[in-house]
């Protein structure tokens, strides 16, 4: 298979992104290119749900006691947004490069419906007991068909008009290739509205939107139409965290963005993300980031 890195480097030249250290939104909705000059130490981040294709470099993702590794020639499937820790490695003094692709809900449901109409079993895992949940992050090796589709996406990104017209159809094919891939059930189960995985995904969406509100586990369990004990167990199966631990990580990461990106003072950021005690916020912020709100790296940019 042809490596993706040369096309990513060519895209950098086309868009003059040689100094980019972060994310760049392409003209294709939901497709972002990312680049980093150097390695980065393990740090807390928020990953959005979707598909991440790494063309150069490698990364380790840590969620509680679990570690997911992926590198050049791998892609990552995230069925739900995840609060995690990540370390990145630039190899042979070459920049880290990749693509992050959102999975549009309409596209996902359309493709799952078409697959169902064909009577195809995406994979054995897609038919597993809906009460047996899977971890929300999976790493996969790029197969030839998937690789060829991503290459076509990178090629059209070199022409803004072609990207705008042809790009969405290629993205849809990438979602299809993911659905029929080894861990396609991670996305497939999201379309099963009555399944526990889809219920937890909807709760996670709520947490990422309403993190500043007063939220109880009982309220979240009711939203998922589950008992508190059943919801608690299902939530841990997907995220490796308790609901309140996960909520705290969202709030702290959002507060960091407000401080680093928007220049907010610590007390204001704490209030905006739902903290009522500034001292508690400072303690938990330092424990989570190993830095105080005043000393956190102002130049840091979150990178997938």
Neighbouring CB atoms inside 10 A of 232's CB total 17
| CA distances for 100 relative to 24, 55, 121, 179, 183, angstroms | 10, 11, 27, 16, 17
Looking at 63-67, 102-106, 210-214, 239-243, which range is the least confident one?
Answer: 63-67
Where do the domains of the chain lie, and which CATH numbers do they carry?
A: 5-126+134-184 (2.60.120), 193-304 (1.10.10.60)
Nearest 5 degrees, angle CA 124-CA 130-CA 133?
A: 85
- Are 47 and 81 spatial neighbours (Cβ–Cβ below 8 Å)? yes
Over the stretch 254-267, which tens digit does the pLDDT of each residue have?
999 999 989 999 99
DSSP track, the chain: ---SHHHHHHHHHHHT-TT--EEEE-SSTTEEEEEESS-EEEEEEEEPSEEEEEEESEEEEEETTEEEEEETTEEEEESS-EEEEEEEE--TTPPEEEEEE---HHHHHHHHHHHHHTT----GGGGS-TTS---SEEEEEPPHHHHHHHHHHHHHTTSHHHHHHHHHHHHHHHHHHHHTSTTTHHHHGGG-TTSHHHHHHHHHHHHHHSTTS---HHHHHHHTTS-HHHHHHHHHHHHSS-HHHHHHHHHHHHHHHHHHTT---HHHHHHHTT-S-HHHHHHHHHHHHSS-TTTS-TT-----
Which residues, listed in sequence order, are joined to residue 139 by a DSSP beta bridge? Answer: 76
For residue 88, pLDDT over 70 is answered with: yes
pLDDT of residue 129: 47
* Count, residues in the chain: 304
Q: Which residue has the higher pLDDT, 300 or 168?
A: 168
For residue 232, pLDDT over 90 is answered with: yes
For residue 62, pLDDT over 50 is answered with: yes
Q: What is the mean pLDDT of residues 68-74?
A: 92
- Are 76 and 68 spatial neighbours (Cβ–Cβ below 8 Å)? yes
The set of residues, in sequence order, having a beta carbon less than 8 Å from that of 26 and lying 6+ positions away, is 32, 33, 157, 163, 167
For residue 299, pLDDT over 50 is answered with: no
| CA distances for 75 relative to 61, 139, 142, angstroms | 13, 6, 6
Nearest CA-CA partner of 100 in 27, 26, 50, 160: 50
Token readout for 196 is: 């526990």
- Are 97 and 56 spatial neighbours (Cβ–Cβ below 8 Å)? yes
pLDDT of residue 297: 62
Of 73-87, 92-106, 111-125, 187-201, which has the strongest mean pLDDT? 92-106
pLDDT of residue 120: 59
């Amino acid at each position: 298979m042809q490596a993706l890195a040369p096309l990513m480097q060519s895209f950098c030249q086309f868009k003059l992104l040689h100094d980019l250290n972060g994310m760049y939104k392409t003209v294709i909705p939901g497709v972002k290119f990312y680049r980093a000059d150097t390695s980065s130490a393990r740090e807390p981040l928020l990953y959005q749900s979707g598909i991440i294709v790494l063309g150069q470099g490698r990364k380790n993702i840590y969620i509680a006691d679990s570690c997911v590794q992926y590198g050049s020639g791998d892609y990552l499937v995230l069925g739900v947004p995840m609060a995690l820790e990540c370390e990145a490695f630039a190899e042979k003094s070459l920049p880290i490069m990749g693509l992050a692709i959102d999975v549009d809900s309409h596209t996902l449901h359309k493709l799952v419906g078409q697959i169902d109409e064909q009577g195809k079993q995406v994979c054995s895992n897609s038919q597993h007991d809906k009460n047996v949940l899977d971890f929300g992050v999976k790493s996969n090796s790029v197969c030839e068909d998937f690789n060829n589709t991503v290459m076509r996406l990178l090629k059209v990104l070199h022409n803004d008009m072609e990207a705008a017209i042809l790009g969405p159809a290629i993205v849809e094919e990438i979602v299809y290739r993911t659905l029929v891939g080894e861990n396609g059930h991670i996305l497939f189960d999201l379309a099963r509205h009555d399944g526990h995985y889809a219920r937890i995904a909807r709760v996670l969406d709520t947490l990422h939107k309403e993190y500043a509100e007063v939220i109880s586990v009982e309220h979240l369990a009711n939203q998922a139409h589950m008992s508190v004990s059943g919801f608690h167990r299902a939530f841990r199966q997907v995220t490796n965290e308790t609901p309140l631990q996960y909520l705290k990580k969202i709030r702290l990461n959002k507060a960091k963005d407000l401080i680093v990106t928007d220049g907010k003072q610590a007390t204001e950021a704490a209030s905006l993300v739902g903290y009522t005690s500034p001292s508690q916020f400072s303690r938990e912020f330092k424990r989570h980031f190993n830095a105080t709100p005043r000393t956190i790296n102002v130049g840091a940019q979150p990178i997938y």
